[in-house]
Amino acid sequence: MPPRTDYYAVLGVARDADAQEIKRAYRKLARELHPDLNPDPTTQERFKEVTLAYEVLGDPEKRRMYDRGVDPMASGPGGAGGNFDFSDLMDAFFGPSTPRGPRPRRHRGQDALIRIQVDLDEVMFGSEREVTVDTAVACAACEGAGAAPGTQPVTCVMCKGSGEIQSVQRSFLGQVMTTRACPQCRGFGTTIPHPCPECSGDGRVRTRRTIGFKVPPGVETGTRIQLAGEGEVGPGAGPAGDLFVEIVEKKHPVFQRQGDDLHATLAVPMTAAALGAEIPLDTLDGQETIQVPQGTQSGAEQTMRGRGVPRLRGSGRGDLTVHLQVQTPTPLDAEQRELLQRLAQLRDEEKPSGTPVAQPTGLFSRIKDAFAGK
């Protein structure tokens, strides 16, 4: 006797509709009729009917039975019973889920991070460094299998190797079948009755290793150097993650870094600033000579092109800017004081008036004055 309910009409699809059309129709109706959005009893009954129609038409075997006039949901011979897999409902809402079955014991390991301090010399010219880390490596005793030598993992007796167990619960939809990871084997499908005594069945052990690497010129605080495959080995001797070395640049006693440029302050005696001089400066490239012109004022700057930090992701180097700081001599002995007083008399500076210094006119000030008609 043909089924009384027209499941095609319930879903609003033609009898020759393909599987994708049936799924799209069901997803649309299920969203509209879901009890969380429509709690009234009439809508809930309609939702059950739509779900039942999709359970039949969404299953190729049940659909063939239905098209032959047999109710695939009827109890007893010739029927499929009233249960359905809850995962099919989730697939209809959110798309196909991940493949079922036992999950592998072998996984990629985690990445690791370590910080090191570097000097400005290393930043300028690069260096060869080593770090010592404690990470997980593959267990040599069991070669990552986790089982004691001479033994093997065995099929889980609870899930029969599937890694999953199913349970049936009653709900407003009827009897709902849910699937979860097997608690005995944790979803692996196998158990290890005799774990490796070295790694306790994990397939890896922790050890201390020394790893060499290069610090490229131009690094700065926060730069991370990636050492591929030097991180943690994964469970079951899975592929190792990466080790990241993060740079922390030490403060230099003379040079201050600003991007790719370096800055230094050079103390100049008052007499040298007044008369002019050549002053040596030890830089990271070697000794350089700073030309101090006659009459140099405190705060004057000299820029040495290409004496800064190498560009990490480019060519060339930044600049080195030397800031000249004129020093007033102190303390003075009697002879020195007499000489300076004589100089003040010669320059008519015995009673200085302190002339205000005009601020330098910048571009924006000149534009503002132009608009003001000055």
Mean pLDDT value of segment 171-199: 83
Peptide bond into 104 cis (omega under 30): no
- Taking the alpha carbons at both ends of the chain, their separation in whole angstroms is 105
Give the domain ranges of the chain: 7-94, 105-152+197-251, 154-191, 256-346
pLDDT for 249-278, tens place per residue? 999 999 999 999 999 999 999 999 999 999
pLDDT for 280-318, tens place per residue? 999 999 999 999 999 999 999 999 999 999 999 888 999
Distances in Å between the Cα of 261 and the Cα atoms of 125, 242, 303, 305 are 14, 32, 10, 10
Which single residue is written with the structure tokens 């991007």?
A: 259
Q: What is the pLDDT of residue 47?
A: 82
pLDDT for 346-361, tens place per residue? 888 888 776 676 665 5
Mean pLDDT value of segment 110-118: 94
Q: What is the pLDDT of residue 119?
A: 96
The CATH architecture that domain 7-94 belongs to is Orthogonal Bundle (1.10)
CB atoms within 10 A of CB 210: 8
Superfamily of domain 105-152+197-251: Urease metallochaperone UreE, N-terminal domain (2.60.260.20)
Distances in Å between the Cα of 291 and the Cα atoms of 179, 240, 278 are 82, 56, 5
pLDDT exceeds cutoff 50 at 2: no
Q: What is the DSSP annotation of 154-183?
A: EE-TTTTTSSEEEEEEEETTEEEEEEEE-T
* Residues sharing a CB contact under 8 Å with residue 24, sequence separation 6 or more, in sequence order: none
| DSSP label of 350 | S
Mean pLDDT value of segment 162-185: 77
Q: Does domain 256-346 have CATH number 2.60.260.20?
A: yes
Domains 7-94 and 105-152+197-251 share a fold: no
